[in-house]
Chains A and B, each alone.
Chain A
Amino acid sequence: QVQLVESGGGLVKPGGSLRLSCVASGFTFSDYYMSWIRQAPGKGLEWVSYITSSGSHTNYADSVKGRFTISRDNTKNSLYLQMNSLRAEDTAVYYCATYSEVQSSFDYWGQGTLVTVSS
């Protein structure tokens, strides 16, 4: 079955950096677009970034553009999110999710990893 397991979250000071990872199994990772989606405590979902199956194209929400970088390693079935210049408002659970081009939706989600930005 499809599994997405995020890691790398934790407590970081404002202005600091963190790298999130998401390891995939149970499907052909290299066939799928992938995204990061976050949820601040008690708040709604916010799309953060996406990457095509080959990694050749990426895009970001305006709120993180220039600070976050999405990447992937298809040989390791892994997705990454490098987060720099972190702000308090980046505090959230970060989910990785597959994006199905066939269904045009985020069809599988990991359990998420919590990032807390605080001094």
Chain B
Amino acid sequence: QSALTQPASVSGSPGQSITISCTGTSSDVGSYNLVSWYQQHPGKAPQLMIYEDTKRPSGVSNRFSGSKSGNTASLTISGLQAEDAADYYCCSYAGSNTWVFGGGTKLTVL
């Protein structure tokens, strides 16, 4: 149950696009189409942004999109806005009713 690997931080200017990567293994990210992404503002609970690799829950802006290739999933935020500044976590089903999260990425909007 090793954590998924995410960059510690990313940054971008308003209006730009950024991508956060999430690297796992063939036992988790690479085995299932079950990667989800969560946004967490300071002092708040996480909020679901993407599920099943690429799907957006109702109410989440279409500026958020997910993709996956092999053992690496990615979250892309387009048209960056100040309110997007937060921590982002990926999560993957890892089999046998276990889940593993990434270490988190701090997004700074310059």
Most A Cβ at <10 Å: residue of B44, B99, B104: B99
What residues of A have a CB within 8 angstroms of the CB of B98 in the complex?
47, 59, 61
Instruction: Give the docked Cα–Cα distance between A57 and B100 (Å).
Output: 19
Known contacts A47-B101, A62-B1, A110-B45; A105 and B51 CB within 8 A of each other: yes
Would you call B47 and A104 a contact (CB within 8 A)? no
Of B13-21, B70-78, B89-97, which stretch is located at the interface?
A: B89-97
**Nearest-neighbor residue (CB-CB) of A35 within chain B:** B99
Tell me, rounded to whole Å, the shortest Cβ–Cβ distance linking A34 to chain B. 13
| B50-82 to A contact mask, C-beta < 8 Å, 1/0 | 011001010000000000000000000000000
Chain A residues near B97 (CB-CB < 8 A):
50, 57, 59
Q: Are B93 and A106 in contact, with the CB atoms below 8 A? A: no
Asked if B45 and A45 sit within 8 Å, CB to CB, the answer is no
Q: How many residues of A contact B (CB 8 A)?
A: 24
Q: How far is the CA of A46 from the CA of B3 in the complex (A)?
A: 8
Q: Would B91 and A44 count as touching, CB distance under 8 A?
A: no
The answer to whether B36 and A105 have CB atoms under 8 Å apart is yes
Which residues 24-58 of A have a CB within 8 angstroms of B? 35, 37, 43-47, 50, 57
Residues of A within 8 Å of B55, CB to CB, are: 103
Interfacial chain B residues near A63, Cβ < 8 Å: 1
B12 sits at the interface (CB 8 A): no
* In the complex, chain B residues whose CB is within 8 Å of the CB of A111: 44-45
- B30: interface (CB < 8 Å): no
Q: With A44-B102, A103-B51, A109-B45 given, can you name 8 additional A-B contacts, CB distance below 8 Å? A: A44-B103, A50-B97, A50-B99, A95-B45, A104-B36, A105-B91, A106-B36, A107-B51
